[in-house]
Amino acid sequence: MSHDENHDLTDIQIEHYKQNGYLLIEQLLSSEECDELNRTAADIVMGKIPLEEGNGFEMEPAAVSLGLASQTNPDPAYLFKIGHRIHVSNPVFRHYAMCKKITDAIASLIGPDLLCVQSMYIDKPRKIGIGQPYHQDSHYIRMEPDTLIGVWIALDDVDEQNGCLHVIPGSQREEVHPHETAIDVRQKQLYLEVHSARKRPEIACPLPKGGVVFFPGTMLHRSGNNITADRQRRAYVLHYCNARSILKHKPEYEQYLLVRGNHYCGS
């Protein structure tokens, strides 16, 4: 595939995103590209690749409680998360954050000047991976105007059994809701939740390995538990915004990466 090939979205895809608040593309990265990201994450966990300042990783809390892994005895099979600036500090994660297949699609939705503002590698281990309840990313990453867009890349085949995303179409037009302590006893130590979203119709977003979901920061979304016996649910999750937006939070370590176009004073 040519590096210069255009990956802009079609008019139909753009309209679907505007109307429904999300867009699925079933094959954005190849299986080999996903494997490269998964290997890099495993090497970080095992200490083969140093984890730079401003990043950290956590083991799945249930795995720690069961004695399957710990921060001092980590195991990639029981990883919870790596973040939040691997798109800046690690060359492999940075490469995919700047990947033209991704940035062309985002530019079709929010404009040509793009910052990547956060990155996470998230796993939900087999049998014990806990989902995240309904929330909006704009509750955590605030900017004016709010041009935040999430990019959720499946690094395994994902479905409702191993914890795919669910979205509430139309909720992208709403303000940021109050986020309160999660209701589920397993989630409440980890997450906040928009309680009212539990009663609303939702759509599951199953994807093959290498597929992606795009959604704005105000979209209500959740992930399910991984209840499978032998399948991981790994994902590379990135957040971008239009480079003209003014971000309200300045992190201790440089976290904002210009991936396309021009940077503007104040963003």
pLDDT at 53: 84
pLDDT at 166: 98
pLDDT at 267: 59
Provide the residue type at 227 as one letter.
Answer: I
Q: Which of 215, 219, 9 is nearest to 103 (CA)?
A: 9
Rg of the chain taking only CA atoms, in angstroms = 18
pLDDT at 1: 40
Q: Which domains does the chain have, with CATH numbers?
A: 11-38+81-260 (2.60.120.620)
HEC sequence for 99-152: CHHHHHHHHHHHCCCEEEEEEEEEECCCCCCCCCCCECHHHCCCEECCCCEEEE
pLDDT at 2: 43
pLDDT at 4: 60
pLDDT tens figures, 116-171 = 999 999 999 999 999 999 999 999 999 999 999 999 999 999 999 999 999 999 99
Per-residue pLDDT of the chain (267 residues; tens, 9 = 90+): 445 678 899 999 999 999 999 999 999 999 999 999 999 999 999 999 998 888 999 999 999 999 999 999 999 999 999 999 999 999 999 999 999 999 999 999 999 999 999 999 999 999 999 999 999 999 999 999 999 999 999 999 999 999 999 999 999 999 999 999 999 999 998 999 999 999 999 999 999 999 999 999 999 999 999 999 999 999 999 999 999 999 987 776 778 999 999 887 655
Token digits for 149?
């867009």
pLDDT at 236: 98
For the question of whether the overall pTM of this predicted structure is more than 0.85, the answer is yes
pLDDT at 266: 59
Give the residue ranges of DSSP H helices in the chain.
11-20, 31-45, 61-65, 86-89, 91-97, 100-110
Residue listed under structure tokens 């509750």: 139
Count Cβ atoms within 10 A of the Cβ of residue 234 and give its class: 0-12 exposed, 13-18 middle, 19 or more buried: buried
Q: Are 256 and 267 in contact (CB under 8 A)?
A: yes
